[in-house]
Structure 1
Amino acid sequence: MTSTPPKLQIDIVSDVMCPWCVIGYQQLAAALEATGTPHDIRWHPFELNPNMPPEGQNIREHVAEKYGSTKEQSEASRVHMTQAGAEVGFEFRYSDDKRMHNTFNTHQLLHWAETQGRMHELKMALFSAHFTHGRNLSDNAVLADVAAKTGLDRAEALAVLADQRFANEVRAAEHHWINQGIQGVPAVVFNRRHLVSGAQGVENFTSVLNQLAAMPKDAVPAS
């Protein structure tokens, strides 16, 4: 009898404000489909801007302050990201009034969604809400609306955000990955030992998956 190959454990550390996180995931997803790799994806929190005020900040102002980018550099970056997204089936819609948001509540909602078996669906819905539809993820009502569209209970989502019941767990998870040396996202960890940073492209992710599949089974820790 042929045994079923073990699932590849994939831990992805990311923030829903990170465009390269969704691009990188879409690239990885395409590689996983092309190689037919059995896998289990787990998302983990990282805040790109932990000191962002609750009301957020205009994205053009934010990029200029944080990276010193000129208007022309910012525009070129948007075009590049939009093209990269389109290549893997994700739509970016940028505008001059688009805002960056504080994502601590977003990560708490995702933590709760994991207990409901819907973390992945919510993660993807939040990426689309922010980058495609320009929703205000600083607004708890908007976060609850997005959660409800994935099949989660809207009233419970609001309660989770109101009482901050998962705040300590999210902070602990963030600190864990920072202590592991993660300083930027996306950070993709395969089988808890092989780190790949950034949006590597479908071809490179495919190469990584093939290399992992060729490793001796005793080199891959049990999930």
Structure 2
Amino acid sequence: MTFFARSATSDQHRNAILVRHGLRISELAFQAHPDIPPGGISAGPRDGPMYAMLEREAREAGLPLNWPRHLPNTRRALAAAEWAQRHQPGVFPHLRKDLFEAHFVLGEDLEDPAVIDRHATGSGVDLAALHAALADGSAAEAVTETEEIGRNYGVQGTPAWLLNQRLISELRSAAEFERLAEDALELPG
């Protein structure tokens, strides 16, 4: 089994490489920045080699990328996406894509329940059922469960992939990911 701890940027492109090689992806919710408080924080400049690489990778993958000035606490959005993955898996890919674009393209605040609701509705999520799961805490508990699974495998942040019991915990070049996928197919697992 291959799993992927959900995040953003070029992770979608890496997942496509794995799928193209015939590997199955099981996505786990994992909050990238649990230290961001309710209300979020201002983001500083995105300078340096890592950001340049992420921007290049996003361009090459055909993913628009506009760094947001504000970093929200994304726990509710993550809980909504995890709930959709578990209870309406057919709409989950659309919701994941819409929430990614809301934050990294449109600059929308993923902490705002109205933003999450709008994208959930547009993706076909049963909003009443989602609201019930958010209200009773079961959607948030699902995130906690998947984070614990990730931590049990050594995941400390995103992006992260587990390929044949080998944890890949940083974004690698597309060429290196092609090699990792090929290696994973050759090993028993």
What TM-score, normalized to structure 1?
A: 0.73
Structure 2 residue runs of 5 or longer lacking an equivalent are none
Are 2:127 and 1:160 equivalent residues in the alignment?
no
Give 2:13's match in structure 1, choosing from 26, 33, 44.
Answer: 26
Spell out, residue by residue over 1:17-75, the C-alpha distance to the aligned partner (whole angstroms, 9 max, x if none). Answer: xxxx431331341x246xx4233322112223223222111111xxxxxxxxxx5xx33
Give 2:24's match in structure 1, choosing from 40, 62, 65.
Answer: 40
In the TM superposition, 1:197-208 aligns within 5 A as: 197-208=169-180
Are 2:172 and 1:214 equivalent residues in the alignment?
no
Q: Secondary structure at the match of 2:47?
A: helix
Which residue in the other structure is 2:163 paired with? 190
Instruction: Supply the AA of the counterpart residue of 1:27.
Output: R
Which residue in the other structure is 1:148 paired with? 121
- Distance (Å, rounded) in 2 between the aligned partners of 1:101 and 1:112: 20
Which residue in the other structure is 1:50 paired with? 34
Give 1:120's match in structure 2, choosing from 90, 93, 100.
Answer: 93
- Distance (Å, rounded) in 2 between the aligned partners of 1:189 and 1:129: 27
Query: Please, what is the CA RMSD of the aligned residues?
Result: 2.2
Of structures 1 and 2, the larger Rg is shown by 1
Q: 1:179 to 1:123 in 2, by over 3 A?
A: same
Q: Secondary structure at the match of 1:134?
A: coil
Identical aligned residues as a percent: 25
**Do 1:144 and 1:155's aligned partners in 2 also have CA atoms closer than 8 Å?**
no
Which residue in the other structure is 1:102 paired with? 73
Structure 1 residue runs of 5 or longer lacking an equivalent are 1-8, 16-20, 61-70
- Distance (Å, rounded) in 1 between the aligned partners of 2:92 and 2:25: 10
**Do 1:103 and 1:138's aligned partners in 2 also have CA atoms closer than 8 Å?**
yes
Spell out, residue by residue over 1:49-103, the C-alpha distance to the aligned partner (whole angstroms, 9 max, x if none). Answer: 223222111111xxxxxxxxxx5xx3345444322210111111135xx211112
- Distance (Å, rounded) in 2 between the aligned partners of 1:157 and 1:169: 13
Instruction: Supply the AA of the counterpart residue of 1:130.
Output: H
Spell out, residue by residue over 1:116-165, the C-alpha distance to the aligned partner (whole angstroms, 9 max, x if none). Answer: 11333322221111101111100111111111222212343333333322
What TM-score, normalized to structure 2?
A: 0.85
